[in-house]
Amino acid sequence: MTAHDAGTDRPDAALHSAPAHDLGAAPARPTPVRTCVGCRKRSPADSLLRVVAVNGVVTPDLRRRLPGRGAW
C-alpha cells in the first residue's frame, strides 16, 4: 500500500491505522449474574455469597471452589 492508497501524505500512516480492537486489547468479559435463593433478586455473582451442601450441611463457599452445585 502506498501513501496515495492510504489517503494521506505520510507513508507510514497505513501501518498505524489499525482499529483499537485489533491492537491486542482483550475483550471485556461479561459479569456473571446469579439469582439469590432467598429473595430471588438477580445480582452480579461477586456480590453474592455462594453456599454448597457438604455432607447435608449448608456451608458458605467463600472462595467459590467447593465441588458440587452451589446456590447464591
Query: Could you tell me whether strands 51-54 and 57-60 are parallel, antiparallel, or unpaired per DSSP bridges?
Result: antiparallel
Q: Give me the percent of the chain exceeding a pLDDT of 90.
A: 60
pLDDT digits (tens, 9 = 90+) for 2-16: 555 555 566 665 566
Work out the widest C-alpha separation in the chain, in whole angstroms: 73
Average pLDDT value for residue range 62-66: 95
* Model confidence, pTM: 0.58
Q: Rounded distance, CA 42 to CA 61, Å?
A: 19
CA angle 56–60–61, rounded 5-degree value: 105
pLDDT digits (tens, 9 = 90+) for 40-51: 999 999 999 999
Do the Cβ atoms of 64 and 70 come closer than 8 Å?
yes
Identity of residue 37: V
